[in-house]
Amino acid sequence: MSDADLLNAYNYDSFIPENFMPWMRFDESPPLGERAPDFPLWRLDGGETSLAQTLREHAYTVVEFGSFT
């Protein structure tokens, strides 16, 4: 899948099963107990950080994934 196709598929424009079902991949998510992959993330002021950097700040960190919609 090209980068453009990935952007369009991930940011689907309609909530129809053929758009959202392919993304329901919880059973393929990283296992517990093993260091999980790191990714860049951005604060609301535009500053860049990363998931790993954020997790280092506390003994435990709760991460809720979601959006306005």
Partner 1 sequence: MNEIADRYRDQDVGAIFLYTHEAHPGEFYPHLTSMAQKFSNARDLRDKLGVTRPILVDALDGACHRAYGSMPNMTWIFNKSGVPVYKSDWTDAASVENALQYFLGMKQRRRGGARLAPFHVERLDYRRQDREGFYAGLERNGPKAVSEFRAAFG
2 part of the interface to partner 1, by CB under 8 A: no
Taking a C-beta distance cutoff of 8 angstroms, is the pair 10, 23 a contact?
yes
Nearest distance from C-beta of residue 4 to partner 1, angstroms: 10
Residue 57 makes contact with partner 1 by CB under 8 A: yes
Subset of residues 11 to 50 that bind partner 1, contact rule: CB under 8 A? 11-17, 20, 23-44, 46, 49
Task: For residue 7, give the amino acid letter.
Answer: L
* Integer Cα distance of 5 and 2 in angstroms: 5
Contact 51, 41 (CB under 8 A): yes
Binding site for partner 1 (CB under 8 A): 3, 6-7, 10-17, 20, 23-44, 46, 49, 51-52, 54-69
